[in-house]
Amino acid sequence: MDKYILITGASSGIGRATAIRLSKTYPVVLGGRDEKRLEETRTMCENADEHLLWRYDLADVEGIADNLSAFLKANSVHVSGFVHSAGIAPLAPLRMTTTETMRQIMDVNFFSAVEILKLLTSKKINGKTLENVIFISSISSQRGAKGMSLYSASKGALDSFARSMACELAPRVRVNTVLPGGIVTPGTQRMVGDMEMPQDGPNSLLGEGTPLDIADMVAFLLSKHSRWITGQNFIVDGGRTSRC
């Protein structure tokens, strides 16, 4: 079977930039719920015909295992690297956050990653192909922010989960997280507008970040140059968190 890198959230933002960046080196599976936007991402990738689309809404956590398993089998694919970039961030004070919203945030941002990783570590489904896992977290897991309590909690869950998985899956599989700071994407621009929050550019020592800054870090962690790195949470924020 062919070896692919699976990228969730590949229809926009960091996930799309990561897919385009990695397509220079690997065949990729582009995961997302919007097939039209996934197809747009594929056309931006190098060697577009090599890459596959996995259309699925990760909010349906219970169906992930069956759907992804069937997809891998139908396309004769094994996954050697998994990049979880999918995420939602509905912003609201805790007093206005419903139980349904809490569950949706945790399902998409955290539990879907757990389900996918559980499947990819199954020898029956994926053999011993998996070598590398990277979760896209956020500096919000380290720093508090108004209206982002559940989003921050979901990213903190990814950070701690990655450390435990690094211990559990070593030495065959490396597991790390990347914690972006203020990255300009359509999603973050909407967040800024909704909450009247300032852009991160002035707060970061190196100015505004772009999705490619995160994609480059992912590419490094997938490469042989990071062979002795696992269980780490890498902050990529232009120096924002170095401020007092």
Residue 98 makes CB contacts below 8 A (sequence gap 6+) with: none
26 part of the active site: no
Cα dihedral across residues 175, 180, 183, 187: positive or negative: positive
First-to-final CA distance of the chain = 50
Q: What radius of gyration do the chain's Cα atoms show? A: 17
| Buried b / exposed e along 106-124 (16+ C-beta atoms within 10 A) | bbbbbbbbbbbbebbbeee
Q: What is the pLDDT of residue 199?
A: 47
**pLDDT of res. 202:** 55
Active-site residue among 4, 26, 56, 151?
151
Instruction: Specify whether domain 2-242 bears CATH 3.40.50.1100.
Output: no
- What pLDDT is attached to residue 203? 77
pLDDT value at position 194?
Answer: 45
Each residue's pLDDT, cut to its tens digit, for the chain (244 residues) gives 689 999 999 999 999 999 999 999 999 999 999 999 999 999 999 999 999 999 999 999 999 999 999 999 999 999 999 999 999 998 888 888 899 999 999 999 999 999 999 999 999 999 999 999 999 999 999 988 888 999 999 999 999 999 999 999 999 999 999 999 989 776 555 554 444 444 444 578 999 899 999 999 999 999 999 999 999 999 999 999 987 5
Please, which residues have CB within 8 angstroms of residue 197's CB and are 6 or more apart in sequence?
191
Domain limits of the chain? 2-242
Question: Cα separation of 184 and 69, whole Å?
Answer: 34
